[in-house]
Amino acid sequence: MSVLKTPLSLVAIACAFAPIIVMAEDSSLTNPNISAVLDGYYQTGDRGLDGRGEGFGLGETELAISANIDDLFYGKMTAILAVHDDETEVELEEAFIQTMGLGAGFDIRAGRFLSDVGYLNNQHPHSDAFVDRPGAYRAFMGGHYFDDGVRLTYVAPTELFWTMGVEVFKGNKMRAAEEHEEHEEHDDHSMEEEHAERDYKTIGVYSAFTKLGGDIGVSSSWQLGLSYLRNENGMGFIEEEGGHEPHIEAEDDHSGHNHNAAFTGENTYIADFVFKWAPDGNYKYQHLTLSGEYFRVTDIFSFEEHEHDHDILSTEKSDDYHQGWYVSSVYQFSPNWSAGLRYGEVDTHEAHGDHLDSQKLKETELSLAWHHSHFSTVRLQYTNQKGTNFDGFEDDNIITLQYVMTLGAHGAHQF
């Protein structure tokens, strides 16, 4: 009997340790992917809405580490180094865990990550075909919106690709500017100034999105998306002062490098599309990408209505929105060369004293890029920008020479 027990015990031990052996053979468990992305440029002028500045500069230097934690979880951390006004700023852009194959088409991501609303937002800027994000992204998403929260996604078991998801975020980067109420009381001896700060909600952003896509033959594919973002802290405030005149709290200065949204509102609606073509589905040698997005941000101010000033405030409500859009075409005509054309507009309303000023930005961009490999790109871009009532920049023709270089392991970009 003892002879029979020995081999059975060895088999039992081997079975117990089998998952550990399998996990050890997965290289991503023991050797995480580590990469850095270097972004440098020279530019002949300043771009509006927190775009790149004139002269030599660095864009975002990205340091990333990612790996399968085990057979159920994946993790990633991305840190960003950016230089502005000769000061280096470090920010943690991603630090999340995600389930792998939770079951029934569901997955969960938690921590700090890029929101999946829109088309470009869930992609890192270094993967773009142009130097900067479109003006609509710089105005309404802080370039690309990432935050602390949780996401639940579902991929439907349909012939066409169909995914949907919901997200909940802290929302600090999407807050409207703080309003300051100052009241002065005068007497013969003193003046008192009171300052009140807004009580922001700690869970400020909720989003929902859906994306549908498929193939057209072997050479073409498409994707359509709809997104909604509810920003509980996104509205600015219009309050009445002496004489029953409406007073609009001024927004923060939008100059300087940051990842906060420059223009906010309570509701943001996004529609996006992308179409890709490559001969016989081979993207290496030749392909064309057409894409575009439309943003509409509504309920940007909270109007405190009273009977005596209802007529005054109602004239402002017709302007209670922001909007922006862009269309883009990028054609890679050889394995090493691509050219792009993008046009976009942004229409916003800025608070000044007791009225709203409309602002408009138009950008026309042409780019030519040389790709020696998947890891190195040198780009020459021409930008014509025209702005109306925007502070901090002027109409200009801008030339940018940029390099984007990747060190270390770097995964394929998203669709």
For residue 199, is pLDDT > 70? yes
For residue 242, is pLDDT > 60? no
Ramachandran sector of residue 345 (left: φ over 0; alpha: ψ -120 to 50; beta: rest): beta
Give me the chain's average pLDDT, please: 83
Confidence at residue 385, expressed as pLDDT on a 0 to 100 scale: 95
CA 121 – CA 165 distance, rounded (Å): 15
pLDDT one-digit tens code per residue, 95-110: 999 999 889 999 999 9
Residues 6 or more apart from 283 whose CB is under 8 A from it?
Answer: 276, 332
Percent of the residues in the chain that have a pLDDT greater than 70, as a whole number = 77
Cα-based distances in Å from 96 to 76, 78, 230, 338: 6, 9, 22, 33
For residue 195, is pLDDT > 50? no
Question: 45 and 54 in contact (C-beta within 8 Å)?
Answer: yes
**Kindly report the CA angle at 256 between 303 and 385, in degrees rounded to 5?**
85
Mean pLDDT, range 218-231, rounded to an integer: 97
Mean pLDDT, range 131-154, rounded to an integer: 96
Query: Which position has the higher pLDDT, 369 or 47?
Result: 369
Q: Determine which of 134-138, 225-229, 313-317 has the lowest per-residue pLDDT on average.
A: 313-317
Neighbouring C-alpha atoms within 13 Å toward the C-beta of 389: 12
- Rounded to two decimals, the pTM is 0.84
Neighbouring C-alpha atoms within 13 Å toward the C-beta of 200: 21
| Domain extents in the chain | 96-179+196-394
Confidence at residue 188, expressed as pLDDT on a 0 to 100 scale: 44
pLDDT one-digit tens code per residue, 21-55: 334 345 556 679 999 999 999 999 999 888 898 99
Question: 216 and 258 in contact (C-beta within 8 Å)?
Answer: no
Confidence at residue 194, expressed as pLDDT on a 0 to 100 scale: 41
DSSP, collapsed to helix, strand or coil, labels residue 262 as: coil
Mean pLDDT, range 79-84, rounded to an integer: 86
Confidence at residue 172, expressed as pLDDT on a 0 to 100 scale: 92
CA 184 – CA 197 distance, rounded (Å): 17
Q: What is the CATH number of domain 96-179+196-394?
A: 2.40.160
Confidence at residue 260, expressed as pLDDT on a 0 to 100 scale: 87
Burial grade of 308 (CB within 10 A; 0-12, 13-18, 19 or more): exposed
* Alpha helices (H) along 101-147: 135-140
**Which residue's structure tokens are 């040389």?**
370
Strand-strand pairing, 73-84 and 61-68: antiparallel
Question: 143 and 121 in contact (C-beta within 8 Å)?
Answer: no
| pLDDT bracket for residue 162 (50, 70, 90) | very high
Closest CA to 227 of 118, 115, 109, 113: 118
Of 42-51, 83-92, 196-205, 255-264, highest mean pLDDT: 42-51
